[in-house]
Chains A and B, each alone.
Chain A
Amino acid sequence: MSTTPLTAARLGLVACGTCGLLSRPAGPGEAGFCRRCGSKLHGRHPNSLQSTWALAVAAAVCFLPANALPVMVTNAFGSSTPDTILGGVVFLFTTGSWPLALIVLVASFMIPLGKLIALAWLLISIQRRTRGGERRRMRLHRAVRAVGPWSMLDVFVATFTVALVQLDPLMSVEPGMGVLFFASVVVLTMLAAESLDPRLLWDRDPVDIKRA
């Protein structure tokens, strides 16, 4: 066993991103198309680091209004009450549903924030070529991809609350602008996690890196 692990890139091969079939690139700089499924071949996702950074920064920018602006506005008996995400958590907590309060707090606040921090850390570690702990960082990347969709929770809570509580003039719930920013955070972080190529975490060899 050699000290440098034998990767497809070291052998000059490219694994198809869609079907996994190994191919030899058609030419230098242009890998060509998979002969089994016809997908365009890439050694690593093209511009993986730049697009992940761009999506993560855009998500971070949306994170502030997502939490500051109301996701729902309740109109009842002539008065209207705005409701932010964290306000909703406090409401659930004070009405005694603390398990649900915890779920919403984790899904809507801690997961998006944790995802942004994790993505930034992974990106920086790739750019600095940090050695060691690859398996741990790999697990973190898998976790970021797996929990991503669960942050969509509050978008659904708002949607179905708004859909049901339309009892004018008695009581009605309207969506606030916060829900749009919040949905953007979720979509942008999901796209960012998807565009980060985990193989970059393992690339050591100049040959691997050149092909990235």
Chain B
Amino acid sequence: MADVVACPGCDLLQHLPPIPPKGRARCPRCGEIVATTPADPIERPLALALAAAITLVVANAMPLMTLSVVGRFAETTILGGAEVMWRQGQPITATLVAFCTAVAPTIYLVLMCTLLVAARRAPAPAWVGPLLRLAEHAKAWSLPEVMLLGILVALVKIADLATVEPGIGLFSTGALLVLLATLAVQFDPEAVWHRIAWVNPAALHHRGKGIAAVPDGDPNA
């Protein structure tokens, strides 16, 4: 029995055919991607995640843009924008903005760097599993690409009233987007799941949880 998976989109059981490097397999019934095989599943995503983490620090530390009007200057950073929103009576919106632009990308990249370093040696320790799960959630709420477009629209709106100049933070955000997009393509969570040492059933029973049984003929068991 080769690799059998259930499609995450429609639950159809299917044998995975041998997939060529850089290939992907789609479910024949619903079209959801069921497997991908990046050329290099650990080292290349690790390099990309480290580069993205450095770029994220620069993007957050440097001003996004500078505004000048009749001799007065103002500039803002990513978190500076959230801070002004907070002070202007919008703490919930400010928290959401800070989370989607700085906190979630930071959590995602820190977790990715940690789990990829840990997954370099197979079997990876079991704690890599929860980190990977958390990283996927953080990724879903990390929206630097939407933020960049939002900043560009804001720049055009303000350009009528004052002179606006893009800063290093804005260009770093652009670079960050490219790195994150490449990372998303190059990283296959399945490659890490395959390396993870399984949860110790004894430990789960100790915490009073029932553990699922092994399906008949399960190739992974």
Contact = CB atoms under 8 A, between A and B. Distances in A.
Interface of A: 5-9, 11, 13-15, 18-27, 30-39, 41, 76, 88, 91-92, 95, 97, 100, 103-104, 107, 134-135, 138-139, 142, 149-150, 152-167, 170-171, 174-175, 179-180, 183, 187, 194, 198-199, 201-203, 208
Interface of B: 4-6, 8-13, 29-32, 64-65, 67, 69-70, 72, 74-76, 80-85, 88-90, 92-94, 96-97, 100-101, 126, 129-130, 132-133, 136, 140, 143, 146-147, 149-154, 156-158, 160-162, 164, 189-190, 193, 196, 198-199, 201, 204, 209-216, 218, 220
A22 B84 contact: no
A139 to B, nearest CB: 7
A90 B70 CA distance: 27
Contacts of A6: 12-13
B161 A7 contact: no
Given A6-B12, A23-B213, A33-B211, A165 B153 contact: no
B11 A15 contact: yes
11 contacts: A7-B6, A15-B11, A23-B215, A32-B211, A33-B199, A103-B153, A152-B150, A160-B150, A175-B93, A179-B93, A199-B11
A208 B13 CA distance: 13
A97 B84 CA distance: 27
Contact of B85 (A36, A38, A149, A162): A162
B10 A199 contact: yes
Contact of A38 (B6, B65, B130, B136): B130
B80 A180 contact: no
B208 to A, nearest CB: 11
A139 B8 CA distance: 14
B contact face: mostly helix, strand, loop, or mixed: mixed
Contacts of A103: 149, 153
B193 A175 contact: no
Contacts of A35: 198-199, 201, 211-212, 214
A88 B157 CA distance: 9
B16 to A, nearest CB: 11
Given A8-B11, A34-B199, A170-B70, A155 B97 contact: yes
Given A138-B32, A164-B158, A153 B10 contact: no
A199 B9 CA distance: 5
A15 B210 contact: no
A32 B209 CA distance: 7
B158 A180 contact: no
Contacts of B152: 100
B94 to A, nearest CB: 8
Contact of A37 (B11, B154, B158, B199): B199
A201 B31 CA distance: 13
